[in-house]
Each structure stands twice: as structure tokens, then as C-alpha cells.
Amino acid sequence: MKNWVTFSYKEYNQIWDRIYTDFKFNPSISKFPSFKVPHPFITYDISDYFGESDAYDDLEEKALLVFKENTLFDEYILALDWQHECYWVNPHLKFERDEFGEWTIPIFPDGDYYFFIQKDFKWGYLGHPWERSITIFGKEIIEAFGKHKPNMFHKILRQG
């Protein structure tokens, strides 16, 4: 099976329309939060970790464990990069890396909004580059990140 399957034009528009509507997504470099996610959720402040490659590796490793625990072997999730190409990705398949050694859509939001969302929007992982935060929503994923807690998930900004 192939991983990092590019969205069709129709999928791209439908999914982003849903994110703008369901999450009241309003991209901003200064007004936070830029989205409203369903309860339960936790938003972590990751501002201390910009430029810390060891922390990125830990986050990738733990996020991949969490994604695997919350998907079936043949299930694909949404991997979104705001205003760029987006993909279907299967956490159980090999995660190819780009020329910078990162996933096709990075897990750490150091340049854009990077979102990983379950295909039915039951849970999600939303990275905000300007607030320097990561928001996770959905009971299952919150519990899984509690078991596999990344080092950078210690300073909570918001929860609900």
C-alpha cells in the first residue's frame, strides 16, 4: 500500500470547507485561538521547543504511537498543511521523509498549520505555528497521549 496519498481537488475543498465550518477556523498570526475544537480538548504551549530537534524526534515517535493505537491497520487519516498539498496517510505504513528529514507533513508546527485528523473527525491533532501550540481533541487521543506523553506536553494553555 502507498502512504501519503495526495487529496483530489474535490477532497481538498470539501475537507477544508468542513474545517472552516466545524472548527470556526480563522487563521491569524496574532488572534488566538484560531479554531474551536470539540470537547474534550487540551492545548499545549510548545514555545520553548522551537529549534529543539531532539524534542521533535520525541514528538514524532509518540504521535505515531498514538495515531497507530487509534486507527485500524488499513485506516488512513487526514494530514493537512494549510494552503498546501494535503494527504491521506496510514500511521501503520512507513512514513517517508523529505530532504529535511521530516514527514511529508511535519508533526511540529514550525512554519504553518499542520493538522492530523481522524477521517470522521472523532479526534485530531492541530499544530498552530504562531500561537506556538498543539491542540489535541477527542477522548481516545487525549488518553493515548496521556500514556505516551511527549516531553513538550507539559505546559497547558487551555482545556475543555
pTM attached to this predicted model:
0.95
* pLDDT on residue 102: 84
133-137 and 5-6 strand pairing? unpaired
Under 8 Å CB-to-CB from 88, ≥6 apart: which residues?
4, 5, 7, 76, 77, 78, 79
* pLDDT, tens digit (0-9, with 9 covering 90-100), for 92-134: 999 888 888 889 999 999 889 999 999 999 999 999 999 999 9
> What are the sequence ranges of the domains in the chain?
5-25+37-159
Q: Per the omega criterion (within 30 degrees of 0), is the bond before 33 cis?
A: yes
* pLDDT, tens digit (0-9, with 9 covering 90-100), for 16-71: 999 999 999 999 999 899 999 999 999 999 999 998 888 899 999 999 999 999 99
Distance CA 106, CA 17 (A): 22
1: pLDDT strictly greater than 80: no
